Homo-oligomer: A and B are copies of this chain.
Amino acid sequence: MKMSERHTKILDLLTKEEKIEVAKLSNIFRVSQVTIRKDLDQLENKGLIMREHGFATLNSKDDINNRLAYNYDIKQKIAQLASEDVHDGETLMIESGSCCALLALQIAQTKKDITIITNSAFIADYVRKIPQTKIILLGGEYQNESQVSVGPIVKKCVETFYVDKFFIGTDGFSEVSGFTGNDYMRSETVRDMAKQAKQVIVVTDSSKFNQIGVVNLLPTQNITSVVTDNNIPNCCESYLIEQGITVKKI
């Protein structure tokens, strides 16, 4: 088993078990404890897990980080693919969500002179160590768990801008309601932001296509393209393409 594969499985295990001992992991994968420790160190450096004496836990206090660990490698590849459309010197908008956070970091690391406009203080913090990345943080009512600003102030702030690309996540999808979310205020804020962008690009792992959120986020016709993995259900994919949406898969 390759190392990256083991890393993925460790994250999977942690999503289920909350906490695993080094010794236990060492037995499961039949490698030395030293090897496991190195794995955990690397995952910790990526901000995915937290280490303690003898065991590791998910960085799960934090909503986004939790979702970051879940399907991490797929999300990383989606972020990679989505970032290919962004060119040096561009100004873009990014909303909250795990894929979006990875995308923001990917862009900040690989492109030059990027300006990121976001309502996510998490993302602002996530990319601030990367030099020469300019961030516009949109203000508003601060949601304590998600670290996202929402509400009328965000609207007021974002109306100052008009950009080419706006990257968003989603909590679900259905043909009738389009893309859906799980938080009313956040969904409204996404719609406000979407008005200030030419293209709206959904970046999400394919699991969301089997779910439906509780509130409307954006109807299909407002979406320019979707970046996801190749487990997207065929019906969804063909429907999206019918609607004139570009579907990119890793």
Contacts and interface: CB of A to CB of B under 8 A. Distances in A.
Contacts of A135: 141-142, 144
Contact of A136 (B121, B125, B141, B156): B141
A240 interface: no
A133 interface: yes
A154 B128 CA distance: 19
A134 B129 CA distance: 27
Interface residues of A, number: 25
Interface string A98-142: 000000000000000000000101001100110001111111111
A153 B119 CA distance: 13
A136 B142 contact: yes
How many copies of this kind of chain does the complex include? 2
Interface string A4-23: 00000000000000000000
B147 A140 contact: no
A225 interface: no
A163 interface: no
A149 interface: yes
Given A121-B121, A125-B125, A142 B137 contact: yes
A69 to B, nearest CB: 20
B137 A149 contact: yes
Given A134-B141, A140-B139, A142-B124, A160 B156 contact: yes
A140 B136 contact: yes
Contacts of A121: 121, 124-125, 137
* Residue from A121, A145, A154, A156 having most chain B Cβ neighbours under 10 A: A121
Interface of A is mostly: mixed
A212 interface: no
A144 to B, nearest CB: 4
Contact of A153 (B124, B134, B136, B141): B136
A82 to B, nearest CB: 22
B157 A128 contact: no
Contacts of A144: 128-129, 133, 135
A133 B129 CA distance: 28
Given A156-B157, A160-B156, A139 B128 contact: no
A153 B142 contact: no
Interface of A: 119, 121, 124-125, 128-129, 133-142, 144-145, 147, 149, 153-154, 156-157, 160
